[in-house]
């Protein structure tokens, strides 16, 4: 595993695995700091390719292409967590990769992730490992009548998840997932959802943004609002939870911790995203240093920026055909469109952030 001996100087190259909208906004932030990006994506058309001076379109398993990519980068990061671990191992032997293999191995698999979170003394929903239909039934009997079966790996935007209300349903949901290893979680009757976005620098410094309240529709983030309904004490607790997680992972970069806020006011960790996060997009307009710039600063070994918020903000995603209304959206706030060609159902096409004076 390699680490940086000195910060990446202006003019240096940040390698980013993944060319979606997160890679695109990372590239834009890097560019403002005088850093170049090289985006590596496994398809020819990628939102981030439109805004980066350097790019590679090749499979994440192509070692020749990965080697060539690593040669031109000073440091490597990623915008999505489902990268094959062999790819990260291969790249880590050539150049510093942040956040590193440890962060990925602890967060790619929901069972490992929740076990890790619990080991830090942080609360989660009750969860059970499920590797057979019988185990799904047995696990269901330990819950209070409601659960969610989730595949251990590769889920996002609610994919690979099924709500279940009986042992039979739990068993058939497991069969529907083609016997993929899964976890069964107890259904949390939360009051609302929130997240905390935080950064840890190469020198161990830490900065957290104010946690937004998040609303989902059809399992896709609809809206993030900051400030949300979290109390001042819950804000501080959420930030402290993120710090504990980041330190335990020797983390360098930005991470997001998704939370359930229960009716009695406790905070449960839902999942950790080892990357910049959709619920942090409002930081572009409402903070001096956005989550994207913060991530670039951290992985490049620069000092972290100021994460404090100078405005209240509401960020709304633009999903699928909603992007057709770009003209009226452009009038309504700070519009971001990701340059995606096809407005498929459920696809995140952009977002709009509206600011208000800080309360």
Ligand X SMILES: Nc1ncnc2c1ncn2[C@@H]1O[C@H](COP(=O)(O)OP(=O)(O)O)[C@@H](O)[C@H]1O
> Which residues form the interface with ligand X (CB under 6 A)?
125, 148, 155-158, 185, 187-188, 193, 216, 219, 258, 270-271
Supply the minimum distance, in Å, between the C-beta of residue 346 and ligand X. Answer: 12
Cβ nearer to ligand X, comparing 216 with 310: 216
Non-local CB neighbours of 119 within 8 Å, separated by 6+ positions: none
Cβ 104 vs Cβ 255: under 8 Å: no
Supply the minimum distance, in Å, between the C-beta of residue 162 and ligand X. Answer: 11
219 binds, among ligand X, Mg ion, none (CB under 5 to 8 A by kind): ligand X
Please tell me the distance from the alpha carbon of residue 318 to that of residue 329, in angstroms, as a whole number: 9
* Tokens standing for residue 334: 């700070």
Cβ nearer to ligand X, comparing 264 with 327: 264
Supply the minimum distance, in Å, between the C-beta of residue 227 and Mg ion. Answer: 21
125 binds, among ligand X, Mg ion, none (CB under 5 to 8 A by kind): ligand X
Please tell me the distance from the alpha carbon of residue 33 to that of residue 323, in angstroms, as a whole number: 30
Cβ 290 vs Cβ 324: under 8 Å: no
Cβ nearer to Mg ion, comparing 235 with 279: 279
Question: Of 316, 276, 269, 281, which Cα lies nearest the Cα of 297?
Answer: 276
Non-local CB neighbours of 138 within 8 Å, separated by 6+ positions: none
Residues in 233-262 at the binding interface with Mg ion, rule: CB under 5 A: 258
Cβ nearer to ligand X, comparing 221 with 289: 221
Please tell me the distance from the alpha carbon of residue 332 to that of residue 40, in angstroms, as a whole number: 34
- CA 219 from chain centre, in angstroms, equals 15
274 binds, among Mg ion, ligand X, none (CB under 5 to 8 A by kind): none
Cβ nearer to ligand X, comparing 62 with 157: 157
Cβ nearer to ligand X, comparing 125 with 304: 125
Cβ nearer to ligand X, comparing 12 with 158: 158
Supply the minimum distance, in Å, between the C-beta of residue 34 and Mg ion. Answer: 34
Supply the minimum distance, in Å, between the C-beta of residue 274 and ligand X. Answer: 13
Supply the minimum distance, in Å, between the C-beta of residue 192 and Mg ion. Answer: 14
Dihedral sign from CA coordinates of 252, 258, 264, 265: positive
188 binds, among ligand X, Mg ion, none (CB under 5 to 8 A by kind): ligand X
Supply the minimum distance, in Å, between the C-beta of residue 126 and ligand X. Answer: 8
- Tell me how long the chain is: 359
In this structure, the number of other CB atoms found within 10 A of the CB of residue 33 comes to 16
In this structure, the number of other CB atoms found within 10 A of the CB of residue 167 comes to 18
Q: Identify the helix (H) or strand (E) that includes residue 285.
A: helix 283-286
Non-local CB neighbours of 189 within 8 Å, separated by 6+ positions: 262, 263
293 binds, among Mg ion, ligand X, none (CB under 5 to 8 A by kind): none
193 binds, among Mg ion, ligand X, none (CB under 5 to 8 A by kind): ligand X
Would you tell me which residues interact with Mg ion (CB under 5 A)? 258
């Amino acid at each position: 595993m390699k680490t940086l001996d000195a910060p990446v100087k202006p003019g240096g190259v940040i390698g980013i695995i993944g060319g979606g909208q997160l890679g695109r906004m990372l590239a834009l932030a890097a560019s403002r700091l005088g850093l170049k990006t090289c985006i590596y994506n496994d398809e020819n058309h990628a939102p981030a390719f439109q805004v980066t001076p350097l790019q590679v379109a090749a499979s994440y398993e192509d070692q020749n292409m990965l080697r060539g990519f690593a040669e031109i980068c000073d440091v490597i990061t990623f915008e999505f967590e489902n990268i094959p671990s062999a790819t990260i191992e291969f790249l880590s032997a050539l150049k510093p990769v942040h956040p590193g293999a440890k962060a990925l191995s602890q967060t790619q698999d929901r069972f490992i992730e929740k076990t890790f979170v619990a080991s830090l003394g942080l609360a989660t929903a009750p969860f059970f490992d499920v590797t057979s239909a019988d185990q799904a039934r047995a696990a269901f009997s330990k819950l209070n009548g409601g659960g969610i079966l989730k595949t251990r790996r590769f889920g996002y935007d609610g994919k690979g998840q099924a709500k279940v209300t009986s042992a039979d349903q739990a068993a058939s949901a497991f069969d529907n997932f083609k016997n993929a290893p899964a976890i069964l979680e107890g259904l949390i009757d939360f009051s609302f959802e929130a997240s905390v976005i935080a950064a840890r620098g190469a020198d161990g410094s830490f900065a957290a943004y104010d946690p937004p309240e998040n609303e989902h529709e059809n399992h896709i983030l609809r809206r993030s609002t900051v400030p949300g309904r979290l109390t001042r004490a819950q804000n501080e607790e959420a930030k402290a939870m993120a710090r504990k997680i980041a330190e335990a992972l020797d983390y360098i970069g930005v991470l997001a911790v998704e939370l359930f806020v229960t009716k009695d006011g406790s905070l449960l960790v839902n999942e950790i995203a080892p990357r910049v996060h959709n619920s942090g997009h409002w930081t572009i307009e409402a903070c001096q240093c956005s989550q994207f710039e913060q991530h670039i600063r951290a992985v490049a070994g620069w000092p972290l920026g100021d994460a404090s918020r100078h405005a209240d903000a509401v960020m709304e995603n633009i999903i699928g055909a909603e992007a057709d209304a770009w003209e009226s959206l452009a009038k309504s706030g700070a519009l971001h469109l990701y340059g995606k060609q096809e407005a498929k159902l459920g696809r995140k096409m952009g977002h709009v952030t509206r600011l208000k004076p800080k309360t």
